[in-house]
Structure 1
Amino acid sequence: MYTIEIGQLEQMVQIEQAIPEFSSPKKLADIKLRLADKRHLLLIAYHNSEPIGYKLGYALNDTTFYSWLGAVVPNHRGQGLAQKMLLQQESWLQQHGFTAVQVKTMNRFRAMLAMLVKNNYAIIDLEKAPSFQDHKIRFEKLLG
């Protein structure tokens, strides 16, 4: 059985280590530094009490939230967990007064790109990189 709940950073770091696409997984100290003094939300997806996915973001200001990091371990992909975490995050944001959410992804993460487009996120910026696969695309969705 899958559930999604607000979780702890230590659980997120544990999941981060199990994501093969991440060449340099985030470290707990770096995450805490980025989140210091920021309102944030960490959702953890569980399978039978085992943490297997996460979605972490923080407030850019009083009305805009940045969905910073997210992943699902490979053997639990295809269950709709990323979509469910996205919808749960959006619901929480609306309940807490946010009117927009932004997210950045790379060209190489095709499933993420497709999910964002499917959920009415609009491209608002592009950061070019030496390889087109590493171009960073910033999306935004207005909530409400």
Structure 2
Amino acid sequence: MNYIIKEGTVNELMYIENNIPEFSSPKSYAEINAKIYARSYILLVAYVNEQPAAYKLGYAKSGSLFYSWLGAVLPEFRGQGIAKGLLLRQEDKVRARAYQAIEVKSMNRFKRMLQMLIAHDYQIVKCKQLDDGSDSKITFRKNL
């Protein structure tokens, strides 16, 4: 499958975010804009046939640390290497902005995401079980 990655818009992100069946409570437009307002951020969107298929959004936590906050691939486009392409493009852009590390959090239930992060040299730096015991939130970091 052919896809292209370029900087996208919050509207394109929202289209994808609202069509991910695993997200029990998708982020709102206002929540996303409030998080990235007045911060240095990178919003990448992967397009298939000029339609948004996946996104990756992150922002500066400090002058040296970039936080990869959100990302998703629409179900019909999974397994095509798009998430990996977004991860690698984000790393390139983060390096170009001279950050020293990337941090990302994921949930234990997202096995493919965990495997991809580990395969690309992200190290587990923290693991916290959710209060209800239903899952664990895992923090990864990669030094650049």
Letter in 2 for 1:108: R
Q: How does 1:6-25 map to 2 (within 5 A)?
A: 6-25=7-26
Q: How many residues of Structure 1 are paired with residues of Structure 2 in the alignment?
A: 143
Which residue number in structure 1 is paired with residue 66 of structure 2? Answer: 65
Q: Please, what is the CA RMSD of the aligned residues?
A: 1.0
Which residues of structure 1 form unaligned runs of 5+? none
Asked whether the 8 Å contact 1:107–1:132 carries over to 2, the reply is no
Asked whether the 8 Å contact 1:44–1:51 carries over to 2, the reply is yes
Q: Deviations over 1:117-139 (max 9, x none)?
A: 00000011112214555210000
The percent identity for this pair of structures is 45
Q: Deviations over 1:73-105 (max 9, x none)?
A: 000001100000000000001111111000000
Which residue number in structure 2 is paired with residue 26 of structure 1? Answer: 27
| Distance across 2 between alignment mates of 1:71 and 1:90 | 16
Letter in 2 for 1:123: I
Letter in 2 for 1:50: Q
Secondary structure of the structure 1 residue equivalent to 2:27: coil
Taking structure 1 as reference, are residues 69 and 89 closer, same or farther at Cα in structure 2, changes over 3 Å only? same
| Distance across 1 between alignment mates of 2:26 and 2:130 | 20
Asked whether the 8 Å contact 1:106–1:133 carries over to 2, the reply is no
Give the TM-score normalised by the residue count of structure 2. Answer: 0.96
Give the TM-score normalised by the residue count of structure 1. Answer: 0.96
Secondary structure of the structure 2 residue equivalent to 1:108: coil
Asked whether the 8 Å contact 1:66–1:102 carries over to 2, the reply is yes
Q: Is residue 6 of structure 2 the alignment partner of residue 5 of structure 1? A: yes
Secondary structure of the structure 1 residue equivalent to 2:92: helix
Which residue number in structure 2 is paired with residue 120 of structure 1? Answer: 121
Moved more, 66-75 or 132-141: 132-141
Which residues of structure 2 form unaligned runs of 5+? none
Which residue number in structure 1 is paired with residue 44 of structure 2? Answer: 43
Moved more, 132-141 or 88-97: 132-141
